[in-house]
Structure 1
Amino acid sequence: MVPDARDAARPRPNVVLILADDMGFSDVGCYGGEIGTPNIDSLAESGVRCTQFYNTARCSPSRASLLTGLHPHQTGVAELVDNDGPGGYPGSLNERCATVAEVLRAAGYRTSMTGKWHLSNEREQPDASWPTRRGFDSFWGTIGGAGSYFQPTTLHDGETPIRIDDLDPDFYYTDEIGARAAASVSAAAADQRPFFAYVAFTAPHWPLHAKESDLAEVRGRFDAGWDELRRQRRQRQLESGICCEDATVDDRDPEVPAWPDEPDQAWQLERMEAYAAQVRAMDRAVGRVLQALDDSGVRDQTMIIFLSDNGGCAEGLSAEPEAAQRFRGNRLIIPPSAPDGSPMKVGNSPDIHPGTADTYTSYGRAWANLSNTPFRLYKRWVHEGGIATPLIISWPAGELRAGSLLDPPHQLTDLVPTVLDAVGADPLTERDGRQLPSLPGVSMLDALRGGYAVDHDLYWEHIGNQAVRCGRWKLVREDDGPWELYDLGSDRSERHDLSASHTERVRAMATRWQQWADSVGVIPRDQVLESRARMAPQPL
């Protein structure tokens, strides 16, 4: 990829890639939310907001696609980080892909990562899938996925484990990610080489752990309840152009009661306040990184990308004794006890109040439905609620259309080509003599500058859920259920299934999906489950 004459005269831009975890489409202010995210919103003021950008519906596969530019099935991480055996996915980043960090380091960039990796099934002993061996000069963060914000497990500095007992009494993971990412940016700027910084938060993924100061800032903000707040978010989206006026908007999830009928309103408000406090903390940490860029004098020459790895999460954590005990036994996720030595209180129950270090709770389906306004369904599904993400790209010196919206649809496979286009680098074509797959995505750079957007089909598969988008049409189904067809040009919330009246279109799009699935190595869901069952310990 050769930059044009205009770009060749410029210094190569720095790249800061910021990823939120389990945050819904409408939670940040510039996408309609009321939580309060001034630092993230400032990126929208200086950059471009994408209205139809998509992730892959789950944390690990989204990270795999985001960092490699490939579909997750090509990388070995198509579900989570468990090894499903010879008939399934290995759950670790394989050697048949190159990360953007590897590409940029080969191009002379200094590379760093801070935060959540979640691309290795080996979370304690360093192997070839760890960030330090996939292109990052430095790494500080967690190898595993969800974990305590006060006592994170699998925490490492490079490849050296950090013991929970060695953490500062005031330690809070989101704040520490922000501080260390900012320090890394400052050091890289002083080195006077272009740099790539990957900042991967765990916020606002469960558990609901929040600092009291952040909770104080959001108390009372959600008292109107999820129905009214959803209406208000939709209205702000309409006013800002995030949601087209002629698009239908999904109603409240039918499994969620109307707010006046909710019997535990006080507890429900506590849950959303803790979630919002986590988002606020993340926004503050983003602000710290932005301040480091400003203080170093490199903000204008830095491409900053912000997005989330999947839609809002409706997962519940059971408080039933047997289920809670099984969860407590997972030492790679949950610490053995709270910092004061008290036992962990696990599960969603009105008698477990979220926020403190001795709890493990989530915010539930009703608030996730708010987070995903105006869509339905959630993380894990490939309906819009599972895969639609806010995407903001800011690059003051990059001639982007500052403050504008980009409507053409794109997905994660388009981000690596966009970054490489911006820096004038070519993708790696081989590793250890083995040919690497070509990148399937397209660069968004010209469109971000107000030019032509490349029209291309988009594809998804996750835990059997399948979808393909061709222009305004989207074909989608849940596992082995029937295909549903939606015209997203007038029905972005997927309320009106048109499959019965467009049978030829359904057939043609289903054929395209299968051809894509075969080309990227999608493994049939029943085969994955059979292989996983064979790998499970057998009873004595």
Structure 2
Amino acid sequence: MQPTERALMSKRPNIVLVLADDMGFSDLGCYGGEISTPNLDSLARRGARFTQFYNTARCSPSRASLLTGLHPHQTGIGILTNNDLPRGYPGNLNLRCATLAEMLKAAGYATCLSGKWHLASEMHEPNDTWPTRRGFDRFFGTLTGCGSFYTPGTLTRGECDASAEALDPAFFYTDAIASHAAEFVTEQSAAGNPFFLYAAFTAPHWPLHAHPGDIDRYRGRFDEGWDVLREKRMKRLVEEGILTASTAISARDPTQPAWSDTKEKAWQVKRMQAYAAQIERMDRGIGKIIEALKTGGTFENTAFIFLSDNGASPEDLPQFDAEKFMRRTDILPRATRDGLPMRVGNTPDICPGAEDTYSSYGRAWANLSNTPFRFYKRWVHEGGIATPLIVHWPAGGLDCGAILDQPAQLVDIAPTILEVTGASYPLQAIGREIAPLEGCSLLPALKGEILFERPLYWEHTGNAAIRLGRWKLVREEPNGWELYDLAADRTELNDVAPGNPEVVADLRAKWEAWAERIGVIPWEVTLGIYEERGLHPTWAAG
């Protein structure tokens, strides 16, 4: 590259795309939470926050949609990374889509993934679904969906096993993701190259791994319990401008006890403290990336985007079939680095945080994380799909401190980044036919314009929804369709389907046409595949 070309390229905006794993709608400080997230809060208050942005309700589908601008079913990742061929989804990122890394690499960007991939069913032999084969110049992270923060399974550098790196007693996965990301930023800033960094943290996905000092910082923070804290979060959500004062908070999850009736309160508090410590550690890592941008002189001209892959997780441990779960060595180590046996489960005798523990924080705390919504990860009610979205780009002329109520979803991220960078789509350089983008750029909305009204769609494990303007038609499998007026009822408390049959019929027809067009495989077909394999239906959901 000639010096004049390098100078021209250096003026192109950089992209830093950061994804959290299983973080709830209101966990961040700038979205009403009690958790200390000063770096993200600073980006939010100097950038823009979306109040009605949506993911796909699950990790792999969200990652596929985020990176391609397509609905996950179009990419081969309809559920997770299970191979359900020939009748089901392959569980691999197919060749009919292009990743942002491929798009931006073709436009002259240096590209890096630091963190979780989870878009390949084969995690040990490199193939066309690995990040290094889908546009990323550099990759350090994990190919599996979750795991220990002390010794993560499938840890890979490039295409080589990197598990030996985790033998260092100081290794902690959240820190390693941040360090690798910051190193990439420093190198590319010094070289004057435009760059695309995708930092995919595994925090705060279970297991609840956190250092004692990080946990101790939350002493007393959650002692009031989930009932009081949900009400306090709701107040702060209104104060922050994320929700209107007329928004009603949903009732506590009916399957969970009132805090006053809860046993083992001290242990329950420890669970939430560990979860909060995971998020604060991630925020600290994001601060390291921000510092690298500032030191390298690239902070002002970097579009920094942050969001979560699904709503908070109510998942218990061990999951489903305990025996099969314990055999997942890519997820669960056999022992600690010091040879201690793993203690798995959500019981008061297992206090989370240490390397030998393997726990989750439970449904009641997930209900707090998703304040004010109902439902969780996997459902497409608001609690499953509503995510914080923060966009910060000082050189982009964004409205500083904007609160944006424009409904949007993951398929809009790729078109936004393409408009910001000037990269093209479709890409001749890729050499294969790819599907047209499904979303639209959010850059006009970020600059104060109102986007045209268009339908947004979801389907995951039979749960389905369509949103058009104020109306949202949603279904919890195997139940029927519900209709909500989100302009008056964002928390989906009043089903108005009986009084609006025409709206229901119209939205249902639109959803069915969309599902046919993009290749949604009926949930009963997937269940049938697992029944034929002699597996319990819960395994069909991944």
Residue type matched to 1:471 in 2?
A: G
Cross-structure match for 2:296: 296
CA distance in structure 2 between the partners assigned to 1:323 and 1:359 by the alignment: 19
Cross-structure match for 2:5: none
Q: 1:399 aligns with which of 394, 397, 411?
A: 397
Cross-structure match for 1:377: 375
Structure 1 residues 377-386 or 10-19, which shifts more?
10-19
User: 1:23-62 maps to which residues of 2 (within 5 A)?
Assistant: 23-62=23-62
Deviation at 1:519, TM superposition (A): 0.7
Q: Is the 8 A contact 1:86 1:531 kept in 2?
A: no
Mark the CA change 1:284 to 1:73 in structure 2 (over 3 Å): closer, same or farther.
Answer: same
Q: Is the 8 A contact 1:312 1:379 kept in 2?
A: yes
Structure 1 residues 428-437 or 298-307, which shifts more?
428-437
Once the two structures are superposed, what CA deviation does each residue of 1:333-355 show, in whole Å capped at 9, x if it has no partner? 11111122111111111111111
Cross-structure match for 2:155: 155
Mark the CA change 1:436 to 1:330 in structure 2 (over 3 Å): closer, same or farther.
Answer: same
Q: Is the 8 A contact 1:293 1:299 kept in 2?
A: yes
Q: 2:475 aligns with which of 474, 477, 483?
A: 477
Mark the CA change 1:288 to 1:433 in structure 2 (over 3 Å): closer, same or farther.
Answer: closer
* 1:528 maps to 2:526: yes
* 1:330 maps to 2:321: no
Q: Is the 8 A contact 1:152 1:164 kept in 2?
A: no
Q: Is the 8 A contact 1:141 1:155 kept in 2?
A: yes
Deviation at 1:370, TM superposition (A): 0.3
Q: Is the 8 A contact 1:328 1:334 kept in 2?
A: yes
Once the two structures are superposed, what CA deviation does each residue of 1:449-476 show, in whole Å capped at 9, x if it has no partner? 1123232110000000000001010000
CA distance in structure 2 between the partners assigned to 1:144 and 1:229 by the alignment: 34
CA distance in structure 2 between the partners assigned to 1:385 and 1:109 by the alignment: 36
Residue type matched to 1:276 in 2?
A: A
Residue type matched to 2:434 in 1?
A: L
Q: Secondary structure at the match of 1:111?
A: strand
Alignment RMSD? 1.7
Structure 1 residues 163-172 or 96-105, which shifts more?
163-172
Mark the CA change 1:274 to 1:252 in structure 2 (over 3 Å): closer, same or farther.
Answer: same
Cross-structure match for 1:439: 437
After TM superposition, the score normalised by the length of structure 1 is 0.95
Mark the CA change 1:346 to 1:323 in structure 2 (over 3 Å): closer, same or farther.
Answer: farther
Q: 1:416 aligns with which of 414, 417, 424?
A: 414
Once the two structures are superposed, what CA deviation does each residue of 1:388-430 show, in whole Å capped at 9, x if it has no partner? 0000000000000111101010000000000101111111346
Q: Secondary structure at the match of 1:435?
A: coil
CA distance in structure 2 between the partners assigned to 1:17 and 1:335 by the alignment: 29
Deviation at 1:534, TM superposition (A): 3.8
Structure 1 residues 86-95 or 449-458, which shifts more?
449-458
CA distance in structure 1 between the partners assigned to 2:205 and 2:15 by the alignment: 25
Structure 1 residues 445-454 or 430-439, which shifts more?
430-439
Mark the CA change 1:454 to 1:167 in structure 2 (over 3 Å): closer, same or farther.
Answer: farther
Deviation at 1:529, TM superposition (A): 1.9
* 1:339 maps to 2:350: no
Q: Is the 8 A contact 1:73 1:520 kept in 2?
A: yes
CA distance in structure 1 between the partners assigned to 2:324 and 2:431 by the alignment: 44
Q: 1:466 aligns with which of 438, 461, 464?
A: 464
Residue type matched to 1:359 in 2?
A: T
CA distance in structure 2 between the partners assigned to 1:536 and 1:148 by the alignment: 30
CA distance in structure 1 between the partners assigned to 2:272 and 2:344 by the alignment: 17
CA distance in structure 1 between the partners assigned to 2:430 and 2:287 by the alignment: 40
Q: Secondary structure at the match of 1:81?
A: coil
Deviation at 1:166, TM superposition (A): 5.4
Once the two structures are superposed, what CA deviation does each residue of 1:88-133 show, in whole Å capped at 9, x if it has no partner? 0000100000001100000000000100000000011111000000
Residue type matched to 2:474 in 1?
A: V
CA distance in structure 1 between the partners assigned to 2:395 and 2:432 by the alignment: 37
CA distance in structure 1 between the partners assigned to 2:535 and 2:25 by the alignment: 39
Cross-structure match for 2:387: 389
Deviation at 1:325, TM superposition (A): 3.7
Deviation at 1:435, TM superposition (A): 2.4
CA distance in structure 2 between the partners assigned to 1:443 and 1:357 by the alignment: 43
CA distance in structure 2 between the partners assigned to 1:527 and 1:236 by the alignment: 44
CA distance in structure 2 between the partners assigned to 1:350 and 1:531 by the alignment: 38
Cross-structure match for 1:211: 211
CA distance in structure 1 between the partners assigned to 2:509 and 2:450 by the alignment: 28
Mark the CA change 1:221 to 1:431 in structure 2 (over 3 Å): closer, same or farther.
Answer: same
CA distance in structure 2 between the partners assigned to 1:536 and 1:182 by the alignment: 47
Cross-structure match for 1:136: 136
CA distance in structure 1 between the partners assigned to 2:165 and 2:406 by the alignment: 49
Cross-structure match for 1:117: 117
Cross-structure match for 1:202: 202
Mark the CA change 1:41 to 1:406 in structure 2 (over 3 Å): closer, same or farther.
Answer: same
Q: Is the 8 A contact 1:88 1:532 kept in 2?
A: no
CA distance in structure 1 between the partners assigned to 2:511 and 2:46 by the alignment: 37
Once the two structures are superposed, what CA deviation does each residue of 1:286-337 show, in whole Å capped at 9, x if it has no partner? 0000000000011000000000000000011149xx9444322111111111
Deviation at 1:46, TM superposition (A): 1.5
Q: Secondary structure at the match of 1:466?
A: strand
Structure 2 unaligned regions, length at least 5: 1-7, 537-542
* 1:427 maps to 2:391: no
* 1:498 maps to 2:496: yes
Cross-structure match for 1:4: none
Q: Is the 8 A contact 2:186 2:293 kept in 1?
A: yes
Q: Is the 8 A contact 1:324 1:346 kept in 2?
A: no
Residue type matched to 2:483 in 1?
A: L
Residue type matched to 1:84 in 2?
A: D
